[in-house]
Chains A and B, each alone.
Chain A
Amino acid sequence: MNTAVETYAIVTILLALSIGALLVDRSMRAFRSRRWHCVHEPVALRIVMRTLTSPRLRNIAVRIPRMPRRRLCDTLLSLSLTTYNIDRRAMSALTDAYGSERIIGRLSPFTTGYRRAERLLMLASMPTGRRIPVHRLRHWSAASRYIHFYTLMADMARTPVLAEYLIETCDIRLSPSEISQITAMLHRGSITLDYRRLLRSSDRNLRMTGIAIVRHFSIEEACDMLHDIAASDPDAEICREALITLCAAGCTIDPSLMAEHIGGMDAAIRRSICRHAILNGYPPAAFAPLFGDHGDDRLAALAESNKYTIA
């Protein structure tokens, strides 16, 4: 009897202790989070902004006070995702002064899942990155798609001249969201890509990236190349993207040239193309050949249901 009571008491005490530890841990996390938002975040932002907007960067390491390296990385990441044309010398001076890149690079192989993907994204947005050898980044590749993609991003940031080669040799089929991140990287000036070479390439990832660049920067000179791609590329996804880009640019499209090619594709893809065309103000008759005999009614209904904003 006594043994049972003692066991019960011990279990109760252990349970109470574990619940207490859990509550303390939770309150500490909340405290740290509040402290980060109230104290570290404004300080980190102020330091970064002062550095980026200061014309003199000579004594930067002397002027900036101490703060957690991870916080600086978070700030730099947020900043690089929302801005472009930042003075990269100033950013590299900051990361040099705090050694942030070294810390992130050291931690990344030991983290897993989304956290590793986030660290790799941080590395991709760091301005100077030649201290971490490229072959080390490649070892971090894992089964996760996110890690795979952000390894590619970090790799491209480290060696911008190899960006085209890295996209071509990437094992995954890049999604539109991932391609838009590469385009944003190009917009920020981290990498350089020639859209003509990408459009001429036979590789699917490169061609999709080229089309995304043409759409992002509204390059009208590329319309002829996009026409050829839409009329001849065997990949339905690439055809669709090329036609949508042509519609977005407001180019003259001759659907009779591509009727045979696109007419054999999935109905959902053809509907998607027509929807984009009508949203961009093209008349339904222009795309009727893609639907055959019964296409007119459907397109007319689609055009009538679309509501335009009259400025």
Chain B
Amino acid sequence: MSTCNIVASAVADLADETVRTTSMQGVMQHVENEDFSLIIMASTRSLATESRLDRTIGHLHRCGIPVFLILARLSEQRATRLLQCGVDQCMTFPINLHRLRRKVHEQITGGNKAGRR
């Protein structure tokens, strides 16, 4: 069972919006055509090369889409860099489901959607 499915099912009932799991390439394709309230990137492996991940996050940040990142391992330096690139929340596995749900709920209900495309 993939960790993405676990994360998706954990936040599925929080809002009326559709929850979709997709690959990294899929995110970039969908972002061009659809409006997302939130994107959660989760991986227990190395998600991508650092520069590619930074570019993707930077692109999402410019589009005004909040990004949560859940990785297996994250150093303090790396976390700082990702936050500067535009990540809204950085977490590492194992995750606290209640904390994740609370953060997602706060982001979806308290976020300002007016600035998005």
Contact = CB atoms under 8 A, between A and B. Distances in A.
Contact of A83 (B12, B44, B97): B97
Q: State the majority secondary structure of interface residues on B.
A: helix
A78 B9 contact: no
B84 A50 contact: no
A45 B6 contact: yes
B13 A50 contact: yes
A85 B81 CA distance: 28
Interface residues of B, number: 23
A49 B12 contact: yes
A257 interface: no
Interface residues of A, number: 24
B94 interface: yes
Nearest to B80: A311
A83 B95 contact: yes
Contacts of A50: 13
B13 A187 contact: no
Contacts of B101: 53
Contacts of A83: 6, 94-97
B78 interface: yes
Interface string A49-88: 1101100000000000000000000110011011111100
A81 B94 CA distance: 7
B19 to A, nearest CB: 11
Interface of A: 41-42, 45-46, 49-50, 52-53, 74-75, 78-79, 81-86, 184, 187-188, 308-309, 311
